[in-house]
Chain A
């Protein structure tokens, strides 16, 4: 057996527990193969548990382990870094808990926070930087750690309660679909709930729409006075959150 065939069979043993693969690897190897399979699965469960600590707490040990096993069986790791493995667990949970939307949303929030933790660095603009900006041509650039995830349930409130060591409230759907903006402030991953107007404003900026056009779209949506007020409020909020890392011509 050449090396490629052996490694293919070893993968078959680890991922599928294939007895045929184990037999081909050889009699000398058979007694110790179980150690490798145990290491493989234990490490992936631990990786998911570390990333999804609050989802784990919300589901409980047995349900989380069952979900982890489902995910591991369906999604063998492929990236060079174990940090990438937790991606997609929310999709697995959505399939397992179709009537409990908060489960997948809680996991999606934890994954977004995990990504923000090691996102590229970028120095945020300060209030003092705003005076030098030519707002007629400025395009707002957000921190590379920024992400937006949909929120149809109170998963964010559940996350906050669990993070604070409090008993979370019962899961429920939000009166209206919202979104969460997730980013890293200094070294701390952060999030807050945003309404549809702010979500659209962030998406427009990320699509390189300039600030003048953004104001125009807000006026169109909210009316002249409210639109201008909202543009100013969003700018202040984003600066305060450390979301903006640049504002200049494209």
Chain B
């Protein structure tokens, strides 16, 4: 089993191109930045240069969207090899991807598609995580998805699936609190039960984000500020999990950096308060 990833309790932001200049030319008050791995798994040019220069200033977490750890036909070895090159160069704080699938039999949806929570899917996911961790030479963080469907064949809850996945592979968790809120609203489960059901000692990072309201369900758009219900859930998470890294993840409608730093300041305050309450 791969060695455990050390705890890191800082506060960070996702690095987006709209803020490259800020991060390269000013002293941005973050403890780490997270980048989308695939944006930098390129041969050369400006993206790699920017990442190298940002890495000189901040710890970097690599967050992937294309590993497809739920693919029934295993992982793309060329993808893993390319990611390993980036990992070796950047020496990231964390390497993460999603509990989802996007690729199957040569087709790649480039979306984080849902899995049924079955013993067979658990076997597939665990085998793929084992392979990824072997190639990468380190333990991964796996992020809970937001989802819009459930499957008739599912035999366990998402959090029970995640708990078993962590036990079998030694992987860690990236808990997206917004995703829990979105899926809980869409599928009618209790988000507190979810938080209480995942293995707290495996969580290394939290994502905070916003969502939009669709016709019949919440849509995980990551394109607006963290809403009050997600902040409430975050307080509960921090009280249960103890010190873990927290990040504001904005993927669309990117606001000025100052707006995101304001949100991050809120996370710092709520995180500190939750920790003090636990200590008391």
Which residues of A are in contact with B by a Cβ distance under 8 Å? 1-4, 6-8, 10-11, 14-15, 25-33, 35-36, 39-40, 43-44, 47, 76-83, 85, 116-122, 144, 184, 187
Taken together as a complex, chains A and B put the C-alpha atoms of A238 and B196 apart, in Å, by 64
Q: Digitize B162-202: 1 where CB-to-A-CB distance is under 8 Å, 0 elsewhere.
A: 00000000000000000000000010000000000000000
Of the 9-residue stretches B23-31, B148-156, B264-272, which lies at the interface with chain A?
B148-156
Contacts of A31 in B (CB 8 A): 148-149, 216-217
Taken together as a complex, chains A and B put the C-alpha atoms of A25 and B153 apart, in Å, by 10
B46, B66, B149 interface centre (most CB from chain A within 10 Å)? B149
Which residues of B are in contact with A by a Cβ distance under 8 Å? 38, 41-49, 66, 70-73, 76, 78-79, 101, 103-111, 113, 115-116, 118, 120-121, 124, 147-153, 186, 214, 216-217, 219
Q: Are A78 and B108 in contact, with the CB atoms below 8 A?
A: yes
Q: Are A35 and B107 in contact, with the CB atoms below 8 A?
A: no
The residue that A3 contacts in the complex, of B111, B124, B152, B186, with Cβ under 8 A, is: B124
The residue that B105 contacts in the complex, of A11, A83, A187, with Cβ under 8 A, is: A11
> Taking the nearest CB of chain A, how far is it from the CB of B73, in angstroms?
7
Q: Are B42 and A83 in contact, with the CB atoms below 8 A?
A: yes
The residue that B45 contacts in the complex, of A7, A26, A43, A117, with Cβ under 8 A, is: A117
Main secondary structure of the interface of A (DSSP, over half): helix
Q: Are B104 and A32 in contact, with the CB atoms below 8 A?
A: no
Q: Are B107 and A77 in contact, with the CB atoms below 8 A?
A: yes
B66, B109, B148, B219 interface centre (most CB from chain A within 10 Å)? B109
Q: Are B101 and A35 in contact, with the CB atoms below 8 A?
A: no
Q: Are A184 and B149 in contact, with the CB atoms below 8 A?
A: no
Taken together as a complex, chains A and B put the C-alpha atoms of A108 and B148 apart, in Å, by 37
Known: A3-B116, A3-B124. A119 touches B45 (CB 8 A): yes
> Taking the nearest CB of chain B, how far is it from the CB of A161, in angstroms?
25
In this complex, what residue of B is CB-closest to A84?
Answer: B108
Q: Are B46 and A187 in contact, with the CB atoms below 8 A?
A: yes
Known: A3-B120, A28-B149, A29-B151. A11 touches B109 (CB 8 A): yes
Q: Are A28 and B214 in contact, with the CB atoms below 8 A?
A: no
What are the nearest 5 A-B pairs in CB distance? A32-B148, A121-B44, A118-B42, A29-B149, A32-B149
Main secondary structure of the interface of B (DSSP, over half): loop
Q: Are A7 and B72 in contact, with the CB atoms below 8 A?
A: yes
> Taking the nearest CB of chain B, how far is it from the CB of A103, in angstroms?
25
Q: Are B149 and A33 in contact, with the CB atoms below 8 A?
A: yes
Known: A6-B116, A28-B150. A117 touches B109 (CB 8 A): no
Q: Are B66 and A80 in contact, with the CB atoms below 8 A?
A: yes
Contacts of A32 in B (CB 8 A): 147-149, 186, 217
Can you identify 9 A-B contacts, CB atoms within 8 angstroms? A7-B71, A11-B105, A26-B153, A32-B186, A36-B109, A79-B108, A118-B44, A118-B45, A121-B43
Contacts of A3 in B (CB 8 A): 70, 72, 115-116, 118, 120-121, 124
Known: A78-B106, A80-B66. A4 touches B147 (CB 8 A): no
Taken together as a complex, chains A and B put the C-alpha atoms of A6 and B72 apart, in Å, by 9
The residue that A36 contacts in the complex, of B41, B108, B148, B150, with Cβ under 8 A, is: B148
Contacts of B120 in A (CB 8 A): 2-3
Taken together as a complex, chains A and B put the C-alpha atoms of A39 and B44 apart, in Å, by 29
Taken together as a complex, chains A and B put the C-alpha atoms of A119 and B42 apart, in Å, by 8
> Taking the nearest CB of chain B, how far is it from the CB of A9, in angstroms?
10
Q: Are A80 and B124 in contact, with the CB atoms below 8 A?
A: no
Contacts of A119 in B (CB 8 A): 43-45
Q: Are A80 and B38 in contact, with the CB atoms below 8 A?
A: yes
Q: Are A80 and B78 in contact, with the CB atoms below 8 A?
A: yes
Q: Are B108 and A80 in contact, with the CB atoms below 8 A?
A: yes
The residue that A11 contacts in the complex, of B44, B48, B107, with Cβ under 8 A, is: B107
Q: Are B106 and A26 in contact, with the CB atoms below 8 A?
A: no
